[in-house]
Amino acid sequence: MILVYLIISIAGIFALGWLFRWTGQKINWPKDEWNIYFRDMSYLVGVGFIFAVALILFTLYVYFILQIKFFVWGVQLLVICGLSGYIFRFLGRRIGTEGSRKLFRSMPVTAAFGILTVILYALLAIFADFIAPYEQDEIFEVINALPGGNPDLGGDPRFLLGTDQLGRDLLSRLIYGAQNTVGIAFATTVFSFLIGITGGFLAATLGGWVDQVLSRAVDALMAIPQLIFALLLMTIATAWAGSNKVMIMVYMVLIIAVLDSTRVYRLSRAVGLNIVVMDFIEAAKVRGETLRYLLFREILPNATAPLLAEFGLRFCFVFLTISALSFLGIGIQPPLADWGTMVRDLAQFINFAAFSPLTATLPLLAAGAIALLTVAVNFIVDWVLHKSSGLKS
C-alpha cells in the first residue's frame, strides 16, 4: 500500500516537473533572462523544483497540521543548529583579530556550526563537575522517574530528565558522559597518533628493513576489519582483566589505539616520505642531529597540516568505535556514565513514543549526543580539506 502511494507520488512529481517546464517555456516572461532560463532548463531541473516545493509543503503539513512531536522537535533542532551556526559566523566576522575574522569570512555555515559545537562539547567535558546537578553515580530513592519533571506524569522536579533503573539522575549522567566518552576517545586518538606518527616517520626516515617489517605488520593488522578485530581482542582482554573494570577500559584504549594507529602510520609514512627527500633533512643529517630531533623537530612541523585533518577524522572513528563497543556492552564500564551504554540501557523506551514522547527521546538524546559531535567534527574536517584542496582546482 505504502509502495503504491510512493510510486504514484513520484510519478506525479515527474509529471508536474514536465508541466512546470512546459508552461514556463510557453509563457512570455517580462524579463529576457527568464525566457532563456526556461528555454535551457533540463527536464530534471524542472522535476527538482517541483520536488523541492513538495518537500517544503510536506514539512509544513506535518509541522503545522499533523504536529507529530518528534518531527516538530527535529525541525526545530535543525533550525536552531543552522541559526546558531549562522550567528556564530556572523559574530566571528565582526569580533576578533584580523586573522580570525578573515578565517570566518571564508567559512561555510556548516563549519561554523561544527566549531561552535566542538567548543560547547569541550566546555561541557571540562566543567562537567560544575554543570551537572548531581554526581554521575549518586543513587536516589526515586527509580525510573519520567523526564519532564512533572509529578502528575510520573516525573520529579529535581530530575529534569528523570532517573534510570537504579535511580541515578539522567541529566547528570548525560553531562558526565561528555567527560568520559569524549575524554577516553580523545586520549585514545592521541595515543594512536603517538604510535602511528612515530612508526610512520621512523619507517620513512630509516627505510630498509624497519620500513618493511612495520609496513607488513600494518598490512596484516589492516586485513581484518577493525571493529571485528577489536571485539576479538576485547574477548581476550576481558579474560585478562577479570572483574577489574578499570583494566578492561585500559585494555580497550590500548587495543583501539594500536588498531587505529595503522591508518595513522600509513598516512604519516606517505607524508614523511615526501619530506625526507628534502634538502633540509639532508642538512640536518649531515649536521649530525639525533634521530629524535630529525623526527619531531624537522619532519613533524612540516607534516602538521595533513595530520591535523586526519586527527579530526580519526577522532570521529575512534569515538564511534568506542561508542559501538560500549553499546554492545564491552566498552566503557559502569559506574562511569557513557553515552553508548546509555543508549543500550534506555533503548526500550523508544516503544513508548506514542504515549510519552519525552520518554522516547531519552535514548535518542544519548545517541544524538554522539552523532552531533561526530557530525560537527566532520563538518570542520570537510571544510579544512576543501580549503586545502579547493584552491588548486
Partner 1 sequence: MGSIFGIILRRIVLGILTLFVVSLLIFASVNMLPGDFAQTILGQGATPEAVESIREDLGLNKHPVQRYLDWLGGIIQGDFGVSFAQANFAEYGGTSVELGGIASVADQLAPRFKNTMFLAGVSAAISVPLSVMLGILAALYSNSIFDRAINISTLSSISSPEFFLAYILILFLAVLNPIFPSLSNVYEGMTFWEKLDRTMLPALTLTLIVTAHMMRMTRAAIINLMVSPYIEMARLKGTAPLMIIVRHALPNSLAPIINVIALNLAYLITGVVVVEVVFVYPGIGQLFVDSVKVRDIPIVQACCLIFAASYILLNLLADIMTILSNPRLRHPK
In the bound state with partner 1, the residue whose beta carbon lies nearer, of 128 and 365, is 365
Instruction: Report the alpha-carbon distance of residue 193 to residue 349 in Å, rounded.
Output: 38
Instruction: Report the alpha-carbon distance of residue 343 to residue 330 in Å, rounded.
Output: 14
Among 144, 212, 235, 304, the residue binding partner 1 under the rule CB under 8 A is 235
- The least CB distance from residue 58 to partner 1, in Å, is 14
Among 4, 65, 277, 354, the residue binding partner 1 under the rule CB under 8 A is 354
- The least CB distance from residue 316 to partner 1, in Å, is 6
Lay out the site mask for partner 1 across 53-72 (x = CB under 8 A, - = otherwise). Answer: ---------------x-x--
- The least CB distance from residue 222 to partner 1, in Å, is 10
Q: Determine, following the binding rule CB under 8 A, whether residue 374 of this chain makes contact with partner 1.
A: yes
- The least CB distance from residue 206 to partner 1, in Å, is 23
Q: Exposed, middle or buried by CB within 10 Å (0-12, 13-18, 19+), for 387?
A: middle
The tally of CA atoms less than 13 A away on the side-chain side of residue 345 is: 20
Residue 333 DSSP symbol: P
Residue with grid cell 642538512, as numbered in its chain: 283
Q: Determine, following the binding rule CB under 8 A, whether residue 334 of this chain makes contact with partner 1.
A: no
Q: Determine, following the binding rule CB under 8 A, whether residue 390 of this chain makes contact with partner 1.
A: no
Is residue 366 a contact partner of residue 108, using CB atoms and an 8 Å limit?
no
Q: Determine, following the binding rule CB under 8 A, whether residue 240 of this chain makes contact with partner 1.
A: yes
Which of 393, 358, 390, 383 is CA-nearest to residue 112?
383
- The least CB distance from residue 370 to partner 1, in Å, is 5
Lay out the site mask for partner 1 across 84-113 (x = CB under 8 A, - = otherwise). Answer: --------------------------x---
Question: Using CB under 8 A, which of the segments 9-17, 93-101, 142-150, 324-332 binds partner 1?
Answer: 324-332
Q: Determine, following the binding rule CB under 8 A, whether residue 7 of this chain makes contact with partner 1.
A: no
Residue 284: Cβ within 10 Å count: 17
SS3 readout for 139-195 = ECCCCCCECCCCHHHCEECCECCCECCCCEEHHHHHHHHHHHHHHHHHHHHHHHHHH
Residue 267 to residues 199, 245, 263, 306, 385, Cα–Cα distance (Å): 11, 34, 6, 9, 15
Binding site for partner 1 (CB under 8 A): 2, 42, 44-45, 48, 52, 68, 70, 110, 219-221, 223-225, 227-229, 231-236, 238-240, 316, 320, 323-324, 327-330, 340, 343, 347, 350-351, 353-354, 360, 363-364, 367-368, 370-371, 374-375, 377-379, 382, 393
